[in-house]
Structure 1
Amino acid sequence: MTKLKLGPIVDDKPVKVTLELPANLHRDLTAYAEVLARDTEQPLADPVRLIAPMLERFMATDRGFVKARRVIRSASSDDP
């Protein structure tokens, strides 16, 4: 089994975003979707559906962002 950063894709209410990707990135997303489907034994997901969980995972593991977000949240909770 491959050690991927993403697990099964959770179905959530989406917000529509239009985005253009380089062809090589789309090919990589497609390959990632294939590996994920094989490893999780779920049906092959549309590669575009991987973008949101990948961004969530990236932001959740970016220590600088997590720290800055904590500072912003504590500053806004201190406001009257």
Structure 2
Amino acid sequence: MTLKLGPIADDKPVKMTIEMPADVYRDLTAYAEAHAAESGQASHGPAKLIVPMLVQFMTDDRAFAKVRRTGGS
């Protein structure tokens, strides 16, 4: 199995608070464990995965890339 999420960068974050459904949190926690096992890194926990997942999502979103290129909707 190969997860889409690559290594997690260690950079200075901006503090943000979010709420999510418990089932999403459980899945994110399970993903964090799978990512740690696959990458050979220690688990960073679910909170550290959110930003790389969002970056990957936005990178893969062609409509968003088009909006970014054209500067409009």
- TM-score normalised over the length of structure 2: 0.94
Stretches of structure 1 that go unaligned for 5 or more consecutive residues are 74-80
1:25 lines up with 2:28 in the alignment: no
1:14 lines up with 2:13 in the alignment: yes
**Structure 2 counterpart of 1:43, one-letter code:** A
- TM-score normalised over the length of structure 1: 0.86
> Percent of pairs identical after alignment?
56
Find the structure with the greater CA-based Rg: 1
Cα RMSD, aligned residues only: 1.1
Query: Alignment length, in residue pairs?
Result: 72
**Structure 2 counterpart of 1:32, one-letter code:** Y
Higher helix share: 1
In the alignment, what sits opposite 1:77? Answer: none
Structure 2 CA distance for aligned equivalents of residues 3 and 41 of structure 1: 13
Alignment of 1:1-80 (within 5 A): 2-72=1-71
Q: After TM superposition, what 4+ stretches of structure 1 lie above 3 angstroms from structure 2?
A: none
User: How many Å apart are 1:60 and its aligned residue?
Assistant: 0.5
